[in-house]
Amino acid sequence: MTTSTTFRPVIAIHGGAGTITRASITPAQQQAYRDALRDVLQGAQQKLAAGAPAEEVAVEAVRLLEECPLFNAGRGAVFTADATHEMDACVMRGRDLACGSLAGVSTVRNPVRAALALMEAGGPVFMIGEAAERFAQAQGCEMVARDWFSTEQRLTQLRTVQAAALASGREQVALDHTAQSQTQAAPLDERKKMGTVGAVVLDVHGQLAAATSTGGLTNKKPGRVGDSPVVGAGTYAKHGVVAVSCTGVGEAFIRGSAAHTVAARIELLGESVDQATAEVIHRVLPPLGGDGGLIAVGADGEVSLCFNSEGMYRGQIGIDGEALVAIYANEALAPA
Ligand code: ASP
């Protein structure tokens, strides 16, 4: 496929999906999320408008989300069962299918920047743990102490999920925003749990890119890696087709090759971006336990923000600079 002759450059972002209802967060918290989404969109839009390549714009949006402790990536990342942080990130460029992924890093301030450095280095496309951290440091990425990522709120979430696991006698993990609602509400429903941040971009040159970053699931087993850094599962971009970033129960998104399946349906079946995302989110993933959502942008700038949970923090912005955001299901995008 070739670049569409008429296209609308755009950035779409997500800050995770899950049990996000009007009852589970206060009006002040809702506004804080809306403001944060707007600020991230406006920050990244400056790069878009200045003509930066799609991967740089996507990485900037995700970096800004990593810096915001409201979201489960970078500072504010959730805790593993050992009360540590293990973060994963990925960036993919549609033009040449270049990509870089890191998993299980705990000292890189902005994992998505290290993923970009890996992509640009042109060697391995996926690195893990301490070796990935040494790579990031050698590339000049900012390194921080392990506890730099910790927040009180995430620790409370961990303790809540662990108490629920103890009470039920079953192993439990939780999607970030679901764990948050659990700290205020009903017992943990294992089918309803999420977090994570991502961005998809169609730049002014007609090029696509996607980036995703996450702390994973609250109370995850140390060493567990979700879909976010797995190309084709949590992140994917292909020139002339689509860029996709996912959030949800990573195991299902990996088993369903979620992001790549969206691209394949568009490319091979001729579906629209909306049709392909709906098929994956509402038909392919649910039988696999795939609660969550994804954001996608097609070669012409068609955006789909699709999820099967109660809510997904989401937004988009075009060249006009008007940031539009939404949180709940059945809520139209609107200025923050
Ligand atoms: N997909 C992420 C994972 O499974 C979690 C999330 O989206 O919040 O690691």
Q: Which atom of ligand 1 is nearest to the CA of 224?
A: 9
Amino acid, single-letter form, for residue 79? F
- The pLDDT tens digits of the residues spanning 218-257 come to 899 999 999 999 999 999 999 999 999 999 999 999 999 9
Q: Which atom of ligand 1 is nearest to the CA of 72?
A: 8
Catalytic residue among 107, 196, 212, 261: 196
CA angle, residues 46, 51, 55, in degrees to nearest 5? 85
Q: Mean pLDDT, to the nearest integer, of 272-289? A: 98
Q: Mean pLDDT, to the nearest integer, of 117-121? A: 98
pTM here is 0.92
Nearest CA to ligand 1 atom 7: 247
CA–centroid distance, residue 269 to ligand 1 (Å): 28
CA–centroid distance, residue 251 to ligand 1 (Å): 9
Pocket test for ligand 1, best of 214, 244, 253 (most atoms within 8 A of CB): 214
Q: Domains in the chain and their CATH numbers?
A: 10-335 (3.60.20.30)
Six token digits for residue 244:
């996709």
Is 196 known to be catalytic?
A: yes
Cα gap 140→86, rounded to integer Å: 20
Q: Mean pLDDT, to the nearest integer, of 181-190? A: 44
pLDDT at residue number 1: 47
pLDDT at residue number 151: 85
Q: Is the pLDDT of residue 62 over 90?
A: yes
Cα gap 22→292, rounded to integer Å: 18
Cα gap 216→90, rounded to integer Å: 13
pLDDT band at 180 (very low <50, low <70, confident <90, very high): low
CA–centroid distance, residue 176 to ligand 1 (Å): 8
Least confident residue range of 61-65, 143-147, 296-300: 143-147
- The pLDDT tens digits of the residues spanning 19-48 come to 888 888 889 989 999 999 999 999 999 999
Q: Is the pLDDT of residue 177 over 80?
A: no
Residue 295, CA distances (Å) to 12, 146, 224, 311 in order:
7, 30, 24, 13
Least confident residue range of 1-5, 20-24, 315-319: 1-5
Ligand 1 pocket at CB < 6 A: 16, 72, 175-176, 194-196, 214, 216-217, 226-228, 234, 247-250, 292
